[in-house]
């Protein structure tokens, strides 16, 4: 049933895209810009496409959750699955200590080359524990965490130095019997600490005592999304002072918009405008980074809506390629696109589009996630208050141009 629904949603998405494409083609053929009504129609169609994507994604997530639950029951026995959830429920009711700590169950390094712990990344093979379910919600709330960053999991929170590359070795033509010049790569180090992120939410006593409620899933969703939203801002724009160092802080310009375009891309009819900016940004990242499985685009929704209208100058084809497979990302110049609302919108001097190898951005998570409860905070409402605490830091470890950005003109 769910596969048929996904197929129907994907067909509706494709029809909506074709309608949007016809609108843009008509405007383009008439050599004019969008009217106010056409602009509103275009944005409505883009919103519909995004909603189809979200519904498809939610159905696939629910399917994986059901498969994981079945795997746990089959692998560990029905009693085992209930006991683990009952232990969490007992603690949530106050039948235990004040603190409940969830730690990473696997190795110290995760290479997240695919987003949202998808089935293709192994999500359907192993049962999802509480930590993985929480992290799945954290990842879906942060575009950076979806983009294939490298995650370091540590048991404690002391500062750890991570080597970073600031320049590569270079070669040169040498005459016969000539001296070969020395060119060593330049290294530095970046310290990854453990900044504390917290989220607070309240749960009714009735929900805690109702054995039919998936309490583990509810806690994972509430905490994961809240922590993901908080960390996601700094993962892009953090200064590195009393907060993680964001990607935009250390990325370099790969393409710069001309003046007079309000920070945008301009009309494709003009040389070096429109899609030409995106092509310049694409090739400003060298081939080894472009070939990485974690190489992709990142932008906000509004920027995506603008780029969807752009055609290439040679063939008049749209540079944005809608996905033909349900649940897979759209492509831009054959590379996946990740949407993150924390990327600046198109504007004067704004870094509105990122492109590159996101595995060169390291995220350090220290000591898992700690839950604490209080019966007193909302005593008059018969609510139990929970807070989730996570310690994390992040920084770019390759400053040679692994990730670059498009920046709008200054005026």
- Kindly list the distances between the CA atom of residue 174 and the CA atoms of 170, 171, 184, 367, in Å, as whole numbers in the listed order: 13, 9, 17, 52
In a domain, 140, yes or no: yes
336 domain residue, yes or no: no
pLDDT of residue 290: 92
Residue 117 lies in a domain: yes
Within a domain: 105: yes
Q: In the prediction, which pLDDT does 217 show?
A: 82
Which helix H or strand E contains 250, and what residues bound it?
A: helix 247-250
Q: pLDDT digit string (tens) for 2-16?
A: 667 777 777 787 888
What's the CATH code of the domain at 184?
A: 3.30.2400
pLDDT score recorded for residue 187: 64
Strands, E assignment, 213-307: 252-256, 295-299
**Distance in angstroms (rounded) separating the CA atoms of residues 13 and 310:** 19
What is residue 121's DSSP assignment?
Answer: G
Within a domain: residue 288?
Answer: no
Q: Report whether 261 contacts 348 (CB < 8 A).
A: no
Residue from 200, 244, 245, 225 nearest 389 by CA: 200
- For residue 187, the tally of other CB atoms under 10 A from its CB is 10
Residue 273 CB neighbours (<10 A): 18
CA distance linking residue 228 with residue 396, whole number of Å: 19
The per-residue pLDDT for 158 is 84
* pLDDT value at residue 123: 31
How confident is the model at residue 70, as a pLDDT? 46
Across 97-224, where does the E strand assignment appear?
Answer: 99-102, 109-111, 150-154, 160-167, 186-192, 195-204
Write down the pLDDT at residue 85.
63
> What pLDDT is recorded for position 182?
61
- Residues of the chain under the 70 pLDDT cut: 1-3, 58-86, 96-100, 104-129, 166-172, 178, 181-187, 211-212, 324, 326-327
Cα separation, 5 vs 1, in Å, equals: 6
**Which residues share a beta bridge with 190?**
162
Q: Tell me whether residue 4 is in a domain.
A: no
Q: Examine residue 49 and state whether it is found in any structural domain, yes or no.
A: no
**Six-digit token pair at 82?**
């209930």
Domain count, the chain: 1
The single-letter DSSP state of residue 151 is: E
Beta strands in 242-360 (DSSP E): 252-256, 295-299, 320-321, 331-332, 335-339, 351-357
pLDDT value at residue 112:
42
Residues 14 and 362: their CA atoms lie apart, in Å, by: 36
Extended beta strands in 193-274, E state: 195-204, 252-256
Question: What is the pTM assigned to this prediction?
Answer: 0.71
Joined together, the tokens standing for residue 169 give: 């070795």
| Residue 185, domain member (yes or no) | yes
According to the model, what pLDDT value does residue 163 have?
80
* Residue range(s) defining the domain that contains residue 125: 98-246+364-396
What six digits make up the tokens of 370? 């700690």
How long a stretch of residues is the chain? 411
Q: Are 385 and 377 in contact (CB under 8 A)?
A: yes
């Amino acid at each position: 049933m769910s596969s048929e629904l996904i197929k129907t949603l994907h067909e509706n998405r494709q029809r909506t895209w074709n309608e949007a494409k016809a609108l843009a083609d008509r405007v383009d053929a008439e050599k004019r810009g969008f009217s106010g009504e056409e602009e509103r129609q275009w944005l409505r169609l883009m919103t519909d496409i995004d909603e189809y994507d979200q519904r498809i994604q939610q159905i696939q997530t629910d399917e994986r959750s059901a498969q994981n639950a079945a795997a746990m029951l089959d692998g560990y026995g029905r009693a085992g699955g209930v006991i683990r959830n009952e232990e969490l429920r007992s603690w949530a009711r106050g039948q235990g200590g004040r603190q409940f700590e969830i730690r990473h169950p696997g190795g110290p390094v995760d290479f997240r080359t695919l987003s949202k712990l998808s089935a293709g990344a192994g999500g359907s093979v192993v049962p999802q524990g509480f930590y993985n379910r929480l992290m799945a919600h954290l990842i879906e709330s942060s575009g950076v965490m979806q983009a294939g960053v490298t995650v370091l999991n540590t048991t404690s929170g002391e500062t750890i130095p991570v080597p970073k590359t600031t320049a590569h070795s270079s070669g040169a033509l040498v005459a016969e019997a000539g001296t070969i010049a020395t060119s060593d790569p330049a290294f530095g180090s970046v310290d990854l600490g453990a900044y504390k992120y917290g989220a607070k939410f309240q749960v009714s006593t009735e929900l805690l005592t109702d054995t039919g409620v998936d309490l583990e899933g509810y806690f994972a969703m509430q905490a994961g999304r809240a922590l993901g939203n908080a960390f996601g801002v700094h993962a892009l724009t953090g200064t590195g002072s009393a907060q993680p160092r964001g990607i935009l802080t250390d990325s370099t310009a790969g393409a710069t918009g001309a003046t007079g375009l309000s920070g945008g891309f301009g009309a494709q009819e003009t040389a070096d405008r429109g899609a030409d900016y995106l092509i310049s940004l694409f090739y400003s990242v060298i081939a080894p980074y472009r070939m990485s499985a974690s190489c992709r685009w990142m932008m906000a929704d509004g920027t995506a809506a603008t780029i969807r209208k752009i055609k290439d100058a040679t063939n008049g084809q749209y540079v944005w390629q809608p996905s033909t497979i349900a649940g897979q990302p759209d492509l831009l110049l054959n590379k996946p696109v990740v949407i993150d609302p924390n990327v600046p919108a198109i504007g004067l001097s704004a870094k509105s589009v990122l492109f590159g190898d996101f595995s060169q951005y390291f995220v350090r998570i220290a000591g898992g996630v700690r839950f604490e409860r209080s019966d007193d905070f909302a005593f008059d409402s018969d609510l139990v208050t929970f807070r989730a605490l996570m310690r994390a830091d992040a920084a770019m470890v390759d400053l040679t141009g692994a990730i670059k950005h498009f920046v709008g003109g200054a005026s």
